[in-house]
């Protein structure tokens, strides 16, 4: 596979997972984060890239509302070279069209969860989000695509992969749970998804991408339709709180 070079766009909390995985496969040539680097927030990414060395992989881990624009800028920058893009979810917001390019790899790390069954009955996720959440950019539907997309995209994608029903709920207080329910030897079994497993998922995802795998936008048209449709039904912001969201596998 050989050691690869990377450029990181966005250096917040989610970028830490990328940093740990990248350390196993290569090294950074540059990191672009206007806020941390005290640049003006609208500093041209294009001008910055023109000053940087070319890399094998451009990793977009910036806030969600920048993903599509930055993906297009990087695609134009790399042209016909062999460089590729790794972009965090969502690749686009619900009201934006997907960019269909084989150079783009979308982060949906739960597909790489070890020990997944081949099929499942249901995928369930309960999130706790209080008022403080809605005072951050993550609680701003215009920047994330909404509560439904931001929190449930990975679990709905997993339900599609496992031919399972999906059930989700966001509550202001209580306990969080994420699990897969399936049958094993005639008995119902719950496979809980634990926070300490996520870094392993990122490591496996990077190994797949660097071996010419990865999840391409052309695979996600149906997932995006599901997310758009249900965002309109259940709401983009606080109106989606305390609603039990069910999506049957017959709609997947």
Establish if 128 belongs to a structural domain.
yes
- Where in the sequence is the domain holding 180, given as residue range(s)? 111-199+225-251
Establish if 204 belongs to a structural domain.
no
Are 163 and 245 members of one domain? Answer: yes
Q: Which residues pair with 166 in a beta bridge?
A: 123, 247
Q: Give residue-wise pLDDT tens across range 85-103.
A: 999 999 999 999 999 999 9
Q: Give residue-wise pLDDT tens across range 203-251.
A: 999 999 999 999 999 999 999 999 999 999 999 999 999 999 999 987 6
Q: Give residue-wise pLDDT tens across range 136-163.
A: 999 999 999 999 999 999 999 999 999 9
Establish if 65 belongs to a structural domain.
yes
Confidence (pTM): 0.95
Are 246 and 148 members of one domain? Answer: yes
Establish if 229 belongs to a structural domain.
yes
- Class of residue 190 by CB neighbours under 10 A (exposed 0-12, middle 13-18, buried 19+): exposed
Q: How many helices (H) and strands (E) does the chain have?
A: 7, 10
Are 157 and 245 members of one domain? Answer: yes
Per-position DSSP letters for 120-172, written without gaps between them: -SEEEEEEE--GGGGGSGGG-HHHHS-HHHHHHHHHHHHHHHTT-EEEEEEES
Are 122 and 237 members of one domain? Answer: yes
Domain count, the chain: 2
Q: Residues 44-57: what's their mean pLDDT? A: 93
* Residue after which a domain boundary falls, among 56, 88, 120: 88
Are 137 and 232 members of one domain? Answer: yes
Q: Could you tell me where the DSSP H helices lie in the chain?
A: 15-25, 45-51, 67-78, 141-144, 147-161, 198-209, 221-234
Are 23 and 55 members of one domain? Answer: yes
Are 151 and 242 members of one domain? Answer: yes
Q: Give residue-wise pLDDT tens across range 101-135.
A: 999 999 999 999 999 999 999 999 999 999 999 99
Q: Residue 83 sits in a domain of what CATH number?
A: 3.40.50.720
Are 123 and 76 members of one domain? Answer: no
Tell me the three state secondary structure of residue 106. strand
Residues 6+ away with beta carbon under 8 Å from 241 = 129, 147, 170, 171, 172
Minimal CA–CA distance to 246: which of 164, 178, 184? 164
């Amino acid at each position: 596979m050989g050691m690869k070079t990377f450029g990181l766009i966005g250096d917040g909390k989610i970028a830490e997972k990328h940093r740990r995985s990248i350390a196993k496969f290569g090294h950074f040539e540059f990191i672009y984060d206007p806020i941390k680097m005290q640049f003006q927030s609208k500093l041209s990414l294009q001008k910055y890239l023109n000053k940087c060395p070319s890399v094998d992989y451009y990793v977009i881990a910036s806030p969600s509302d920048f993903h599509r624009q930055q993906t297009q800028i990087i695609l134009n920058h790399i042209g016909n070279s062999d460089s590729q893009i790794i972009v965090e979810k969502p690749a686009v917001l619900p009201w934006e069209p997907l960019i269909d390019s084989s150079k783009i790899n979308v982060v949906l790390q739960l597909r790489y969860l070890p020990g997944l069954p081949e099929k499942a009955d249901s995928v369930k996720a309960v999130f706790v989000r209080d008022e403080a959440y809605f005072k951050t950019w993550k609680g701003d539907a215009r920047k994330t695509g909404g509560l439904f997309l931001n929190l449930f995209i990975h679990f709905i994608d997993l339900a599609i992969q496992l031919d399972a029903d999906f059930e989700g709920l966001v509550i202001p207080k209580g306990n969080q749970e994420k699990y897969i329910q399936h049958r094993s030897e005639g008995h119902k079994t719950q496979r809980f998804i634990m926070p300490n497993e996520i870094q392993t998922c990122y490591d496996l995802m990077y190994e797949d991408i660097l071996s010419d795998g990865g999840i391409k936008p052309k695979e996600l048209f149906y997932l995006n339709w599901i997310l758009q449709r249900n965002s309109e039904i259940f709401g983009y912001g606080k109106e989606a709180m305390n609603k039990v969201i069910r999506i049957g596998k017959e709609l997947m």
